[in-house]
Amino acid sequence: MREEQQDAMPKEEVLDKLRFELAFIELGGYERSVREPRKELSVFQESPVCPNYADSERTVPCEECFLMSFVPTEQRNETVPCHHIPLNARGDTVASMEGSGDDFRVHDAFHTWLRGTIRELEAKRIAQAEAIGDV
């Protein structure tokens, strides 16, 4: 996570948003619609944490989204920057996996990334609190 972006939003708010996203996915938030079973849902973009959720005009610039702190610098000018967040050690991203027809693979990588990122941020928060004697 980039430090300047990380400082722009309180770490607790980032954690809250990631936890909300985790709950969303665990409750089936990205499962295909009964009305449109062929339509793949776009991870990140069709999430309530996206500043452009339910906004077909995409009026909020992606640069304002907390997820930009996870996007590699060289991918930040992409149309959907959050789809270029590396989700695992291989560097798989939503962009590299979407359209494969394997929703499970995308969702599994995304779910694993969410859990790992939340654990990492929680561990950092605890270490910082211990360093200043808040624990």
Domain ranges in the chain are 3-132
pTM metric for this prediction? 0.80
Higher pLDDT among residues 120 and 99, named by residue: 120
Structure tokens at 135: 């624990």
- In whole numbers, what is the pLDDT of the chain averaged over residues? 84
Question: Do 69 and 61 form a contact (C-beta atoms < 8 A)?
Answer: no
Please tell me the number of Cα atoms within 13 Å of 56 on its side-chain side. 0
Q: List C-alpha distances in Å: 34 to 37, 40, 101, 102, 103.
A: 5, 12, 17, 18, 15
**What tokens appear for 122 in the block?**
């929680």
Residue type present at position 9: M
- The DSSP call for residue 89 is T
pLDDT at residue 77, as a whole number:
95
Distance, in Å, from the CA atom of 6 to the CA atom of 66, rounded to the nearest integer, reads 8
The amino acid sitting at 133 is G
pLDDT in tens, 16-66: 999 999 998 888 877 655 566 555 667 888 888 999 988 888 899 999 999
